[in-house]
């Protein structure tokens, strides 16, 4: 006997990947319901070799459903997640709405799987921000060996992180550059994204950092260790899928670059590709459709006593969202909602 699983936001970037990954990983689902807004009623989405017709989330009855993977943004989540949770369906949410709630575990299974025990307080589990998810997978095994004091990270985030609209805007703007009569003013982003980079993701906070940058700080503390200091600069780049990060880490103890490479090679969810030669590193285009977080360019930072630099790339729609959510569902199935 398997699970009855809901995917809310099934017509979106993340929801479509959730359906792909549920099928790829052969998640033991007896039934899968694809939900979106009323305007998408009847829209066909793929689930393995099946096609599902999208239902209206607003009228959906969650009674009898085991797990709901949500990827619909915070506003809609605020309305529908409590409804699902109250009906006894465990919500695994991709929005930022519940991430900082003390009664909701924020989980990256390779890092803090045991936190899942706290799910029952609200019947909700949160998935982190895409940039945080891939970073903490790399940080955790290094922290366990040499205790991280401080992280300085710069991100290079793809437009798919801003939803379907982000992908369309990069595509249309790129075409319009070659056809000047076709004016494509920025809508989704604050400035032109085609052939440009924008040092601004999410809203500005009072201290000058952006909410996206703040999320990386707060979420790393909640998932890995509250003592780790993080400072981030988050940048949108004209890449369709795949977030990259240049990460500088200061440790309490010395950690040699070769040992760090060995540790990361053994770490769950990590693939090291680090040859000091032309092309001996991973770029975002190569990580699309993959499960792993790729680490390259591991090297000592000789400007401080115990420093390392590395380059971290992952498919933001997968490890940054859909894969992590399905991994949480697997964890929930293995440890808590056992069936069969």
Ligand X SMILES: NC(=O)c1ccc[n+]([C@@H]2O[C@H](COP(=O)([O-])OP(=O)(O)OC[C@H]3O[C@@H](n4cnc5c(N)ncnc54)[C@H](OP(=O)(O)O)[C@@H]3O)[C@@H](O)[C@H]2O)c1
Least gap, CB of 155 to ligand X (angstroms): 12
Measured CA to CA in angstroms, residue 191 lies from 70, 188, 194, 310 at distances of 29, 9, 9, 29
Q: Which span (24-32, 247-255, 275-283, 313-321) binds ligand X, by CB under 6 A?
A: 313-321
Least gap, CB of 105 to ligand X (angstroms): 16
Token pair for 99: 């991430």
**Is 287 among the residues known to form the active site?**
no
Report if residue 210 touches ligand X, rule: CB under 6 A.
no
Least gap, CB of 31 to ligand X (angstroms): 19
Least gap, CB of 12 to ligand X (angstroms): 2
Q: Which span (36-44, 134-142, 174-182, 226-234) binds ligand X, by CB under 6 A?
A: 36-44
**Is 143 among the residues known to form the active site?**
no
Measured CA to CA in angstroms, residue 210 lies from 45, 131, 234, 313 at distances of 34, 14, 8, 21
Answer for which of 316, 318, 327, 331 binds ligand X (CB under 6 A) is 316
d(CA 129, CA 112): 15
Which residue, 168 or 286, has its beta carbon nearer to ligand X? 168
Report if residue 95 touches ligand X, rule: CB under 6 A.
yes
Choose the catalytic residue: 89, 130, 234, 312: 130
Question: Rounded to the nearest 5 degrees, what angle is found at the Cα of 337, between the Cα atoms of 331 and 340?
Answer: 105
Q: To which residue do tokens 């190569």 refer?
A: 286
Terminal Cα distance for the chain, rounded: 5
Choose the catalytic residue: 89, 243, 287, 312: 243
Which residue, 274 or 315, has its beta carbon nearer to ligand X? 315
Which residue, 99 or 142, has its beta carbon nearer to ligand X? 99
Measured CA to CA in angstroms, residue 123 lies from 25, 79, 298, 302, 334 at distances of 24, 15, 40, 47, 16
Question: Rounded to the nearest 5 degrees, what angle is found at the Cα of 106, between the Cα atoms of 324 and 156?
Answer: 60
Which residue, 35 or 263, has its beta carbon nearer to ligand X? 35
Which residue, 77 or 296, has its beta carbon nearer to ligand X? 77
By CB under 6 A, the residues from 142 to 171 that bind ligand X are 160-161, 163-164
By CB under 6 A, the residues from 53 to 92 that bind ligand X are 57, 71-73, 76
Report if residue 203 touches ligand X, rule: CB under 6 A.
no
By CB under 6 A, the residues from 5 to 34 that bind ligand X are 9-15
Size of the site for ligand X (CB under 6 A): 27
Answer for which of 37, 176, 231, 233 binds ligand X (CB under 6 A) is 37
**Binding region for ligand X (CB under 6 A):** 9-15, 36-37, 39-40, 57, 71-73, 76, 94-95, 130, 160-161, 163-164, 316-317, 320-321
Catalytic residues: 130, 243
């Amino acid at each position: 006997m398997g699970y009855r699983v809901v995917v809310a936001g099934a017509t979106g970037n993340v929801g479509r990947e959730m359906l792909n990954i549920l099928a790829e990983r052969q998640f033991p689902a007896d039934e899968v319901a694809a939900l979106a807004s009323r305007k998408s009623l009847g829209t066909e989405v793929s689930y393995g070799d099946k096609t599902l017709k999208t239902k209206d989330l607003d009228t959906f009855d969650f009674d009898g459903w085991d797990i709901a993977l949500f990827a619909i943004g915070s506003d809609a989540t605020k309305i529908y997640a409590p409804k699902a949770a109250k009906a006894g369906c465990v919500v695994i949410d991709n929005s930022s709405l519940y991430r900082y709630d003390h009664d909701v575990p924020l989980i990256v299974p390779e890092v803090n799987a045991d936190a899942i025990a706290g799910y029952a307080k609200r019947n909700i589990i949160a998935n982190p921000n895409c940039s945080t998810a891939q970073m903490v997978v790399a940080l955790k095994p290094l922290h366990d060996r040499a205790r991280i004091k401080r992280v300085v990270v710069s991100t290079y985030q793809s437009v798919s992180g801003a939803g379907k609209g982000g992908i369309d805007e990069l595509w249309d703007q790129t075409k319009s550059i070659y056809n000047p009569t076709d004016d494509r003013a920025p809508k989704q982003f604050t400035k032109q994204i085609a052939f440009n980079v924008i040092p601004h993701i999410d809203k500005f906070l009072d201290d000058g950092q952006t909410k996206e940058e703040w999320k990386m700080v707060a979420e790393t503390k909640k998932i890995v260790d509250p003592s780790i200091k993080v400072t981030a600069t988050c940048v949108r780049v004209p890449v369709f899928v795949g977030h990259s990060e240049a990460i500088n880490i200061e440790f309490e103890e010395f950690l040699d670059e070769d040992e760090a490479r060995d540790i990361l090679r053994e770490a769950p969810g990590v693939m090291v590709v680090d040859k000091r030669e032309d092309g001996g590193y991973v770029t975002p285009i190569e990580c699309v459709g993959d499960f792993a977080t790729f680490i390259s360019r591991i090297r000592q930072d000789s400007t401080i006593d115990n420093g390392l630099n590395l380059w971290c790339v992952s498919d933001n729609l997968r490890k940054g969202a859909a894969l992590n959510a399905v991994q949480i569902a697997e964890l929930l199935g293995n440890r808590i909602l056992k069936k069969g």
